[in-house]
Amino acid sequence: MGGESGRVRKINRLYRSDVRRARRRLRGQIRVTPVFHTEIQGPRGPVPVTLKLEYLQHGGTFKVRGSLNALLDARPGTDSVVLASGGNAGIAAALASSLRGLSCTVVVPESAPHTKVAAMWSHGAEVLWHGTTYAEAHRFASDLARERGAMQLHAYDQPAIVSGAGVVGLEIEEQVRGRPPVLVAVGGGGLVAGIAVALGPRGRVIGVEPQGAPTLHAALAAGEPVHVDVSSVASDALGASRIGSIAMEVAQRYGVRSLLVTDDAIVMAREYLWREFRIVVEAAGAAALAAVQSGVYVPAPGERPVIVLCGANTDVATL
C-alpha cells in the first residue's frame, strides 16, 4: 500500500548500473523467478504472452528484492527496521529482516488485510496499527524510527528499494528474446520504475493501474506527482495515493505509459489465472494481465508482451 511523506526532497536519479549492483548484492539471496510462454484469451481471441512468475518470489512478492537490497546496503551496526505498509512491503521487510537477524516493526493502517498482517507476524515482525490511511501510518513510522534510532524503509520511494525491484527487469532481459513491451502493475511505482531503469531507453515499459487508483496516470497528466483518491479491489497493494518521486522521474525520462483497467477486469483476470493455469495471485498480481485480457492493451502483430505477475499474498478462499 502506498503513500507519501509530504516532504520536498532531492530525487535520487537511478541508472542501470544501480540495478546491476543490486543484482550482485542479491545473488544467492533471492529467487530468479521463471517465465512462462503461453496464450491467454483476449477480446478477439488468443493472445501470445510471456508471464513473469514473480509471485513465486520469497514472501510471495517482488518487494523482498528491494527490502533485502536495502538491508544488505545498510550501515554497519544497524539492528532494527521500521516502516509503514498496508501489506506486501511489510511482509518483505519482515522476511528480509529475519534473514539478516534484525528486528522489524511494521506500522499498518486499520484497513490492512489480516492475511497480510498474519504473514508479517509469521516472519517475526512487530505490527502496530495507526490511522486509517498509509499516509498516517507513514508519519507515525517516521516518528518511531527517529525515537528508536532505527533504519526506516519506504514501501516504494527509496533508491535501494527501487533498484532491488529492478532486478526483475534484468532477469526478463535474459529470459526473453528481443525487446517486447513489459506490462507492470503500478501502486507507488517502485516496480515499474525499477524495471524501466533496468531496461533503459530501449526498453518499453507500460504501467497498468486500477481506475480507482491512478497515481501514475494522474501524475503524467499533471506533469508532477499529485494526490488521488483510492478506491479499488487492489488497493491493499496498489493503494498509493501519490506516485513516488523516483518513479515519476523515471517515467518521464523513459516515456513509461500508463493504462487504466477496471476492477471487474482485474477480478476476471485473477479468476482466469486460477481457472486456466491454477495460478493464485492477489488482485494486484492480476492487474497487468487485465490490460491485455480486457483489450485495454492490444499487442501489435507478432508481438508477445511480457506480463509481470507480481504478488500472491491473498486469501485463497476468495477465489
Span of 4-8, 202-206, 222-226 with lowest mean pLDDT: 4-8
Say if 7 falls within a structural domain.
no
CA atoms within 13 A on the CB side of 114: 1
- Condensed to tens digits (0 to 9), the pLDDT of residues 36-53 reads 999 999 999 999 999 999
The cell for 95 is 522476511
User: Do 57 and 193 fall within a single domain?
Assistant: yes
Q: Which of 182, 197, 185 is nearest to 303 (CA)?
A: 182
Kindly state whether residues 102 and 68 are assigned to the same domain: yes
Same structural domain, 68 and 58: no
Length of the chain: 319
- pLDDT in the model for residue 8: 40
Share of residues in the chain with pLDDT > 70 (%): 95
Domain shared by 264 and 187, yes or no = yes
Distance CA 108, CA 38 (A): 38
pLDDT of residue 7: 40
Give the contacts of 208 (CB within 8 A, at least 6 positions apart): 183, 184, 185, 186, 258, 259, 260, 261, 287, 288, 290, 291, 296, 297
Q: What is the CATH number of the domain that holds 146?
A: 3.40.50.1100
- Between CA 235 and CA 187 the distance in angstroms is 8
Do 222 and 297 belong together in one domain? yes
Q: Is 50 helix (H, G, I), strand (E, B) or coil?
A: strand
Q: What are phi and psi of 255, to 5 degrees?
A: 65, 40
Residues 80-100: tens digit of each pLDDT = 999 999 889 999 999 999 999
Q: Do 306 and 176 fall within a single domain?
A: yes
Mean pLDDT of the chain: 92
Q: How much is the pLDDT for 3?
A: 40
Q: Which domain holds residue 281?
A: 16-62+160-318
Query: 174 and 283: one domain?
Result: yes
Same domain, 165 and 219: yes
Q: What pLDDT sits at residue 235? A: 74
Burial letters for 154-188: b for 16+ Cβ neighbours within 10 Å, e otherwise?
bbbbbbbbbbbbbbbbbbbbeebeeebbbbbbbbb
Q: Which of 123, 139, 156 is the last residue of a domain?
A: 156
> Rounded to whole angstroms, what are the CA distances from 282 to 61, 137, 238?
10, 23, 11
Among 156, 182, 207, identify where a domain stops. 156
Distance CA 183, CA 304 (A): 11
pLDDT band (50, 70, 90) for residue 152 = very high
Band of the pLDDT at 10, cuts 50, 70, 90?
A: low
Asked if residue 5 has pLDDT above 70, the reply is: no
Q: How far apart are CA 285 and CA 184, in angstroms?
A: 9
Does residue 276 share a domain with residue 197? yes
Q: What is the arithmetic mean of pLDDT over 275-285?
A: 94
Domain boundary at 127, 156, 185, which? Answer: 156
Cα 20–Cα 25–Cα 29 angle in degrees, nearest 5: 120
- Residue 117's pLDDT is what? 93
At 231 the pLDDT is 82
Give the list of residues 6+ apart from residue 134 with CB closer than 8 angstroms, or none: 1, 2, 3, 84, 85, 86, 109, 155, 239, 240, 241
Q: Which residue type is seen at 122? A: S
pLDDT digit string, tens, across residues 61-77: 999 999 999 999 998 98
Question: Do 230 and 81 have their domain in common?
Answer: no
